[in-house]
Amino acid sequence: MRIDRAVTAYLRHVSIERGLSEHTVAAYRRDLGDYVGWLTEQGVRDTTDVTPDVVARYVADRAAASPPPAASSLARLQSSVRGLHRYLAREGIEDEDVSTRLRPPKAARRLPQALTIEQVERLLAAPSGEDPIGLRDRALLELMYATGARVSEVVTLDVDDLMGGGGATGNGSTGDIVRLRGKGDKERIVPVGSFARAAVDAYLTRVRPELSLRGRATPRLFLGARGAPLSRQSAWLVIRAAAEKAGISAHVSPHTLRHSFATHLLQGGADVRVVQELLGHASVATTQIYTHVTVDALRDVYATSHPRAR
């Protein structure tokens, strides 16, 4: 089978039969597009001409690029290639899986970058004023830090996901818990603090009704200036603009707020398993990376405070 047709069949399989998200399928498409391009440059156009050595040379070539790719990027690329060749072998298109020799590179263990509490306060205060977009942006930032939600979880929130008895409560105020839908559509319930509730209340009562009249009816909580649901890219821009206005020189992304949420909880004495549930991690091992952040902070305090630490 022609390699480009094989990739098309595989992407259709993961999209329709396995039901992977559009975001994941798009990542596979990018990775495999690079793979097909490289194979074509080598004169390989049919799946029968792909051997284990060819696959290994492709990975070695990409690993030797300048600047070198991150271990996580290389691992994702290998995963895409392995998935394609496993599929071809399983479907009987090829006799063997030529990618079985590939071993994912070891990813460097990087600690999450978290803001200080003072930096978070400056960030949350950045959207000042009473204009509609400022009120919306403040509600977005407050809710992200209050819940530790991923940006994809926040922009897909519906108004009815603000709970406390079902959506907004009867007295017109926001409920004190929110329903988030994480990876694999797994739902979790997360409390919402008073600052975020107040910010979201202001947005719901004073801004969202006006924005909703500018576009088609939608249950989405956060809307753009034209009334359409707020996109991931727009949420990124909100955070970037707030960080710039707050004078925070460190790189700030939606995940920075999530990291800060987890780190500040652990610094405040929260149990790691509670933080695991709040973040929606399938394994506590994923959450435990944040404990290293707090241990480093403790080590610094010890080194500067204890009379016999040095």
Given the residues 10, 28, 87, 290, select the one marked as catalytic. 290
Given the residues 255, 273, 292, 299, select the one marked as catalytic. 255
Radius of gyration for the chain, computed over Cα atoms and rounded to the nearest angstrom: 24
Strand ranges, E, within the chain: 162-163, 177-181, 187-191
In the residue annotation, 245 being an active-site residue is answered as no
In the residue annotation, 258 being an active-site residue is answered as yes
In the residue annotation, 306 being an active-site residue is answered as no
Given the residues 150, 181, 197, 259, select the one marked as catalytic. 150
What is the three-class DSSP state of 223?
Answer: strand
In the residue annotation, 299 being an active-site residue is answered as no
Peptide bond into 209 cis (omega under 30): no
What own/partner pairs with CB < 8 Å and gap ≥ 24 does 172-175 have?
172/201, 172/205, 173/197, 173/201, 174/200, 174/201, 174/204
Given the residues 136, 138, 258, 259, select the one marked as catalytic. 258
User: What's 183's DSSP letter?
Assistant: G
Residues near 216 by beta carbon (within 8 Å), at least 6 away in sequence: 227, 228
**Number of Cβ within a 10 Å radius of residue 292:** 12
Given the residues 30, 183, 186, 299, select the one marked as catalytic. 183
Catalytic positions, written as ranges: 150, 183, 255, 258, 281, 290
